[in-house]
Amino acid sequence: MDADYKRLRWRCRRGTRELDQLLGWWLENRYTDAPGELRTGFAALLEQQDPQLWDWLVGLGAPADAVQAGVIDEIRAQHRV
């Protein structure tokens, strides 16, 4: 496991178990095979505040950035949030 992955794993630990699980799922299942653009988009998502992330994940809006929106869509499709 490289240092970037470990850093992202730590940043996936949020204030709620639900966010931890949803973000952790993408990191564990998609990150290593994802193109660099998606990896960068995922890292940028982790900069957002928890309430904003939760709203996006439950379908109350979407990130303006198309790549970040793609990551959110993948998580929602997998978990039917």
pLDDT digits (tens, 9 = 90+) for 7-62: 999 999 998 999 999 999 999 999 999 999 999 999 999 999 999 999 999 999 99
In the chain, where are the structural domains located? 3-79
Q: How confident is the model at residue 15, as a pLDDT?
A: 86
- Nearest to 60, CA basis, from 76, 39, 78, 37: 76
pLDDT at 70 over 70: yes
Q: How confident is the model at residue 81, as a pLDDT?
A: 59
DSSP conformational letter for 81: -
DSSP conformational letter for 48: S
DSSP conformational letter for 13: -
* Tokens (6 digits) for 56: 């996006």
- Nearest to 37, CA basis, from 66, 6, 80, 79: 66
pLDDT at 80 over 80: no
| CATH superfamily of the 3-79 domain | Flavinator of succinate dehydrogenase (1.10.150.250)
